[in-house]
Amino acid sequence: MDQPVEGFSKLSKEEKIDWIARRYTANPEATIKLLQQYWNSDKQLQQLHDEFIENTLTNFYLPLGVAPNFLINGKLYAIPMAIEESSVVAAASKAAKFWLDRGGFRAEVLGTEKIGQVHFLYFGDPRQLSEFIEGLQPLLRADAQGLTANMEKRGGGISSIELRDKTSDIEGYYQLHCTFETLDAMGANFINSCLEQFGATLVREAGKYPDFAKLDPPVEILMSILSNYVPNCLVRAEVSCPVADLGAESGISGADFARKMVQAVAVANSEPYRAVTHNKGIMNGVDAVVLATGNDFRAVEACVHAYASRSGQYRSLSRAEVSNGTFRFWMDLPLALGTVGGLTGLHPLVRMAHEILQKPNAPELMQLVAVAGLAQNFAALRSLVTVGIQRGHMKMHLLNILNQLSATGQEKEILIDHFKTHTVTHNAVVKALEAHRALK
C-alpha cells in the first residue's frame, strides 16, 4: 500500500510531477511529458500561473472565444467567453445577431447590496442582547474604521448591522446580519475582515457588560464569514419587440413562436426537473463570462440556484410574456462581481477580457454577464420550440467527434461538408468516416 507523502508542498514542481506520475499513472514518462507540454514557454508568465494556487503541476486550458454583435443599452459589445462546451459561443452569437436588428438588449442594475454574518451563541435574556447590540452599533463601526476608511472614500463601506434571533432554529443561535457596498470589488476579503473585527468587538464589549455578568461566556463566536447569497445584488436583462417583428421561425409564424416561448418558460417555472436544465443553459452563458473576467463562478452558481429556489420550489430564472402585441423576455439575476482585485489585475487574459469589454465597472459587468445568460437561454429555447436542440448542438459537436476518431484535416473538411445535409450522431460520424476511408 502506498504511503502518505510528507512535505509535498515543499517539493519543486518537477519533483511533484515525478511523484504523481510514478505513483498514480500507468506511463510516468508520458505523463511527465504531457504536463510539461502545457507549461508556458515564458518562464515569468508560468511562474505567475504557478503562484495562483498551491501544488501547481501545469496549466489546464479552456478555449477562450468571443461572441460579437451584442447591442446592450445602445452600445455594441463583443463578449469574451471561456468554456469547453461546443455550442455555447455559437448560440450566444446567434442570439446577439437575432436581437441586433430588434432593438438589442437592455440591462439595469437593481441593487448592489452584499451580505456577511457573524454567527454566535448567547444564552441570556434576548431583550438584554438586543439593547446591548443597539448600544454597540457606533463602536462596531468605529473599531472597523481602519478597514473601511479607503472603501468609504470611494463611496462604499458598511451599510447596516442588524441583530437576528435564530433561536427558533438552533438554541442560543444569533447573527449579526451585515450589509456592505463594495463598489468595483467583489469584496470578499474586505467583508470578512470587517466581520472578524465585529466579532472581536462583540466578545470584548460583552465581557464588560453588567447585564451579562452571570453568563460564562457572555457570547461565543462560532464564525464570521460573508454570504455568497446576495438576493439584493441584482441585475435585470431583457429584450422585447412587436410579435410581428419576430418573423417566421423555422416554419412557424412569429405569433406561434412567441406563444411557444412563453409556454416553454411557464413549464420551466412550474416543473423543477425542467427548471434545472433551463437554468443550466442560462449559466452556460453566465459562467463563461464570469470565468473569462476572473470572477468566482462557483459563488455565482451557488447564489443563482439559491435565488431560483427562494419561493420554496426551484423555478425558472427567466420570464416571458406577450402583452398588447409585444413579446418580452427577461431575467433578474443576483450577481456579486468585481472588476478590481483577485485575478482581474493579475491574469493577462483576464485583463484582456476586461479590455475587450471596454473596461466596465462592476455594475456594468453585472449587466454584460446577465445579458450573456439571457442570450444563451433565448437561443436554447428558440431551438427547443422550433427545430429541436440536437441539430445545432450536434453540428457543433461534430469536430469533437472527429478529433476523438483521429480524423485528418482533409477528412474533417469532407465530413463537415457531408454533415451539412445529414443528421449528426456519433454512430453516423463513425460510419461516414469508415466509408470514406474504405474508398481510399
Active-site residue identified among 13, 18, 49, 85: 85
Active-site residue identified among 50, 143, 184, 296: 296
Q: For residue 186, what is its C-alpha cell?
A: 467583489
Cβ 235 vs Cβ 372: under 8 Å: no
10 noted as active-site residue: no
Active-site residue identified among 177, 280, 426, 436: 280
Q: For residue 408, what is its C-alpha cell?
A: 485528418
Residue type, position 99, single letter: W
Active-site residue identified among 278, 354, 393, 397: 393
125 noted as active-site residue: no
Which residues have a catalytic role annotated?
A: 85, 280, 296, 393
